A and B are shown apart, each in its own frame.
Chain A
Amino acid sequence: MRYSIFALARGALTKHRHWHPAWRDAAPNGPYDVIIVGGGGHGLATAYYLAKIHGVKKVAVLERGWIGGGNAGRNTTIIRSNYGLDGNTQFYEWSMKLWEGLEQDLNYNAMVSQRGVLNLYHGDAQRDAYARRGNAMRLHGVDAELVDRDAVRSMAPFLNFDAARFPIQGGLLQRRGGTARHDAVVWGYARAASNLGVDIVQNCEVTGFVRSPEGRMIGVETTRGKIMGGKIGMAVAGHSSQVAEMAGLRLPIESHVLQAFVTEALKPLLPGVITFGAGHFYVSQSDKGGLVFGGDIDGYNSYAQRGNLPVVEDVCEGGMALMPMIGRVRMLRSWGGIMDMSMDGSPIIDRSPIDGLYLNAGWCYGGFKATPASGWCFAHLLARDEPHPVAASFRLDRFATGRVIDEKGQGAQPNLH
């Protein structure tokens, strides 16, 4: 049933008895043409585009818990395409374009809100690095503005301009950047995929792979039994190494914890997304009114979905340095996610060395914004066995060849991305 104001009005009169489940809670029913492991945003988007764009008939998404319970359900919802390196820029811009039409496409309001992303700079070298990035974006046809201190002040007068350890000099602004309601993205894709016949199987953990005598992947072992499939796509984010290990693969990935925070709800306070280039802090305000913020990763490998106090302090110190008005605003909740930190900070969308097994991983702490394009490109790869042009650089062998895409220049040290 289509969602609309009229459908809601009808519901108001009929006690909302007409609503169906947003997606079918399917039981495994193989064999499938494609099995996607992981019911996060990426897995569900992949399934949707497989069905919609490529007409693949039988697709299953296997999720070990409830869909959207991984990083898709715990990120700070920032979407942007302000990347500077070739390979990244065109991919994230494609994602942004998909965001811009997503809700009409899915018939689901994911609250995509292009309120702008402002990255502050505090010195000449940082300014020039942002200029380099902004210019690269413009070469790719992406909107980017370098704004000065006065312009920042007019956008966000409450920032600390006068007594700052690292005074604000200006910022790189992408007006088309912003936020989207993370859970809605998951549910919207799930509903749209389910409507196209995709089986979304929850509480179904993949515990192993089934191989043909020739060594090809032909199915998966799960907590709900063996499920056969023609191709298997992995989109398990923080658990990439775990699932890859079942296939005997090691990946250039470490799983790290990133914490995020939300404050009590407030009346509208912040215009858009603000990142503090000299501290470890970034913030936006949710539609519910909470300031959603975060900072650095904790810096150690973890699968625990929670972090420690030093980073909480570090993030809040950054917050207070940037906006001393939030001193009396209270943090309501904190949580952590398990991020698949790749060795150059950029993702992998590629065939694996094993026939029939495909990888979508290495999203670090930036894969939410990638959700639509990641699904789009992974579906393309799965359906056609060739990389989509905008994701062609996200190869697994780039670490061996040295064609790394290292935006931060930190090298193979995931704690430094």
Chain B
Amino acid sequence: MNRLESGGLIDRGKPLNFVFDGKKLAGYEGDTLASALVANGVRLVGRSFKYHRPRGILTAGSEEPNALVTLRTGARSEPNTRATSVQLFEGLVAESQNRWPTLGFDLMSLNNLLSPMFTAGFYYKTFMWPASFWEKVYEPLIRRAAGLGKASTQPDPDIYDKAHAFCDVLVVGSGPAGLSAALAASQAKARVILVEDDWLLGGRLLCEDQDIDGAPAVDWVRRIEGILTAMPNVSMLRRATVFGAYDGGTFGAVERIADHLAEPKPGVPRQRLWKICAKRTILATGAIERPLPFGGNDLPGIMMAAAVRAYATRFAALPGNEIVIYTTTDSGWAAARDLTGCGANITAIIDARASAPKGAARFAASAGIRVFENAVVVDASGGRRLRSLKLRSADGKIFELTADVLAISGGWNPVMGIGCNLGSRPVWSDAIHAFVLANPPAGMTLAGSAAGRFSLAEALDDGHRAGAAAAADLGFSPPPTKIPPCSEDATGSMPLWHVEGAKQKVFVDFQHDVTDADIGLAAQEGFRSVEHLKRYTTLGMATDQGRLGQVNGQALLARHLGKTLAETGTILSRPPFLPVAIGAFAGHHREMNFRPERRTASHDWAAENGAVFVDSGPWKRAQWFAIPSDQDWLDSVTREATAVRASVGVCDVSTLGKIDIHGPDAGIFLDRLYINMFSTLAVGKARYGVMLREDGFVLDDGTTTRLADDHYFMTTTTANAVKIMQHVDYCRQVLWPELNVQAVSVTEQWAQFAVAGPNSRLLLQKVFPDLDLSNDAFPYMSAIAVTWMGVPARIFRLSFSGELAFEVAVPARYGDALVRILMREGRDLGVVAYGTEALGVLRIEKGHPAGNELSGQTTATDLGFGRMMSQKKDYVGRVLAVRPALTDPMRPSLVGLRPAARSERLRGGAHILPLSSENRADNDLGYVTSVAFSPMMGSWIGLGLVSGGQGRIGERLRAYDPVRNGDVEIEICSPVFVDPEGVRVRG
């Protein structure tokens, strides 16, 4: 065990058991999985992406590239989870990944032997022969070797939800900079949201032995936390990551509500997606330490100095017994100081700089640590763990040291990814040897080490100033506050990108196994932009998105090109800042709740009566009503359609779009919307209308009724209801604002039922006994508003079926009552309920175009409405509808189709070809748009769009349907199969 006796922010009173790769281990409350592994002396935790090299824990933060595990099991298993970010819980189970058969003995590490061939971009140069081998042999092998963890193939059992928040000042990160920013802004009375990735506030203060206000920094953190908690204008999200900045001050954040539990409590989400709207933002996201280049720098046991410091200080776990520190920064020395304070055995400190910082010699001497100044580590060796390292002093002397831990510190990269999301580019700063965000987006400030101001005093000061300034900017008055005094930490550093003479591979991107040689090769092969470098070598494309090693790689590129980093630049961070579960973005919009469902007023009644529902856009509509004697769906549909033609049927047509159009200019307005006239329509009359898009193709159709001089009631197709409402608003607000027209959707106000069939009048008369519905009093295309049992109702004499038919509308609250009454009163007439399928049969028998014909590719003339196009007025689409290609007589136009052998079946989507022709595109005459089995015709019938259309009536052609193996000889006929004279409808 490497656990220290005392200290740290763990609760020794709460031991937790967990399993890693089948081994039972224990840690404490307050541990991460990584710190618990460190405490248990576990070194080897994973295998690298390409070479399957043994890897250990490298960091103590979310930038971890190596220690990726599959957390949990079964449906809850989560591949690629960073052990450094997992809060330990009782019963945690984790498995290492990307190894076979075991982590210790990984056969795929053979790749490592072949690595001289597996250079950057090797696959572009080979695997081309024979061509067919790619999918069958090479690619499966490459894929299996690549990839990391395995995803579960079972549905994610957990739930996710979404939330919104607004604030004046959003503070991201709760280190010293973030805390003082939040404090300053909130004391000015601004509404503040503070978001912290960790479960504890404090940032680096949790991992460093620092003083603020004369007491340990953690005490200060607790105090500020207390103050902020008590403020009503502050909200805090812990275990939450701001993952992206979007336009207009919108930020995305994900809160991990239950990831630190074995499983979420029932009903409680695992994670929650926050959309935060902020007027000002302060990024206090800290900085990440850079690794150093030397051979074998990926051996387990080599760790970032800040991480070793964090494990010792915050988690009371020492990763080794013989620690060497290799640094080019002052913070490497600070780590040494803290480690010594924890009782760690540091045997040597190697500083690549010409001289160690002030006071270093004294500290080292008192702690008995050997110091090498102006020396570099050249190679590290060991097998699956670090055993020794070779260093070279300035005068070329080689030393060998034994060590089980090498803590490295190569400088600091400010964390500013979120600031780049909107396109701001980082620029190189020679002052701090790092990229900084000089031009953050409007409304955003960086503070503390995120801004490249690395000392604690700077962080406190910077945060305070940023918080106060943001509040002041919004008109709040920040009260004067004093910034607490704190311990001093030096922040000197020297960049070191390359070491000469390494015998082993020098890693730059640890997860993707990108080495300094790969960078060199890429540059040699002409991949000289940092973007090309990234894509050719995959530098920075791993799950850590290059947080750790990308700048090192870019520096090597610059070196190869003889340029500076300022010239070569860096790449843009994109959201998400840290990888985010797809489930969190989806929230509860999944499975049945993917999209809301719309139900008509008769839904429950329909369900009680055997309805099988079909999706019609968001609506659920009864497709048919199955009764026990029906053998199959076709039986039901045929029964329903037959009954309508024979007696009477009732169908819910409420889903049609309904728009109330009012105003003195309503008639003129409709004239401009439709190809035909509506201003001339008499009150109490309905008319069928067709609308075009401005490009001359058909947009929609439907009947519109004039209910009063200045009031029309428009219906649209179900599919286009929303689009047409938008179109109507466009036309009246943008195109013709001078017209006095008001419009509003009343789709939901009215439950509307078609009552169709020769007995429809009889039935309706029973329900509306006081009305005269005779042909004379209420002829075809009439409409009337009445009161029915105290509620407003409307009756229309409309017919989609070609039968004597009506549509009855009542307020939707009474729709359920109406359909029940209609069905009850119609019982002795043999009334049936019919669904959308029978509706389709009836309309195809009558040749009425619907959705399949209104494809957006057809003209009014194609559909047989050419003569409706008024010559007397302007309307949307008029001009472009007469372009040559839209009026070409050889355009496919609407016809009826029947199978030549009446027993054969037609299918929608079949193409239409001459009888004895080759199956070639140049013989294509059109296609079948809609089909139905027609009880009236005793066969399948169809509608189609056929070149030459009406001119081909009587011709024999064939319907070509290879995707369903059906070639059917067909006869072209009139699209009106039933009652072409239109006698029934007027009966």
Contacts and interface: CB of A to CB of B under 8 A. Distances in A.
- The reply to whether chain A is a binding partner of chain B is yes
B968 to A, nearest CB: 13
Nearest to A1: B125
Given A103-B128, A266-B147, A12 B116 contact: yes
Interface stretch (A21-29, A50-58, A220-228): A21-29
Nearest to B961: A135
Contacts of B119: 8, 11, 16
B207 interface: no
B911 A333 contact: no
Given A112-B134, A123-B614, A125-B852, A267 B149 contact: yes
Interface stretch (A234-242, A301-309, A381-389): A301-309
A264 B594 contact: no
Contacts of A138: 919, 962-963
Contacts of B920: 139
A335 B573 CA distance: 10
Contacts of A411: 693-695, 697, 699, 856
Contacts of B160: 327
Contacts of B581: 327-331
Interface in B901-930: 907-911, 919-921, 923-924, 927-928
B127 interface: yes
A152 to B, nearest CB: 15
Given A11-B119, A320-B589, A264 B579 contact: yes
Contacts of B423: 304-306
Given A16-B521, A125-B851, A312 B585 contact: yes
Interface string A313-333: 101111111001111111111
B678 to A, nearest CB: 23
Nearest to B529: A66
A216 interface: no
B397 interface: no
B872 interface: no
Contacts of A353: none
Given A139-B919, A402-B883, A320 B583 contact: yes
A219 interface: no
A20 B576 CA distance: 37
B880 A402 contact: yes
B800 to A, nearest CB: 17
Nearest to A190: B526
B362 to A, nearest CB: 46
A8 to B, nearest CB: 5
B117 A8 contact: yes
Sort chain B's interface into a size bin.
35 or more
A315 B589 CA distance: 11
Nearest to A144: B963
B539 to A, nearest CB: 13
A111 B586 contact: no
Contacts of A4: 125-126, 128
Contacts of A7: 125
Interface in A378-417: 398, 400-404, 406, 408-412
A132 B526 CA distance: 47
- Among A11, A19, A264, residue most surrounded by chain B Cβ atoms (within 10 Å): A264
A158 B517 CA distance: 41
B921 A140 contact: yes
A380 to B, nearest CB: 21
A132 B150 CA distance: 39
Contacts of A129: 909
Interface stretch (A41-49, A161-169, A367-375): A161-169
Contacts of A130: 909
Interface in A238-291: 263-269, 278-279, 285, 287-289
B909 A412 contact: no
Contacts of A13: 116
Interface string A54-65: 000000000001
Contacts of B142: 287
Interface string B97-109: 0000000000000
Contact of A328 (B143, B246, B583): B583
Contacts of B924: 86, 136, 139
Given A135-B962, A402-B886, A328 B152 contact: yes
Given A20-B525, A265-B147, A317-B587, A109 B126 contact: yes
Contacts of A33: none
B696 A313 contact: no
Interface string A95-111: 00000110110011111
A11 B131 CA distance: 23
Contacts of B529: 65-66, 69, 202
A8, A100, A158, A408, most chain B CB atoms within 10 A: A8
Contact of B126 (A8, A104, A140, A313): A8
B885 A401 contact: yes
A25 B590 contact: no
B219 to A, nearest CB: 36
A233 interface: no
A128 interface: yes
A166 B594 contact: yes
Given A131-B907, A333-B574, A406-B856, A267 B150 contact: yes
Contacts of B154: 325
B591 A321 contact: yes
A104 B130 CA distance: 9
What 9 A-B pairs are tightest by C-beta distance, nearest first?
A409-B856, A327-B156, A131-B909, A21-B526, A327-B583, A289-B147, A128-B908, A316-B585, A330-B579
10 contacts: A4-B126, A16-B517, A107-B128, A113-B139, A131-B963, A132-B910, A135-B909, A288-B538, A289-B147, A312-B585
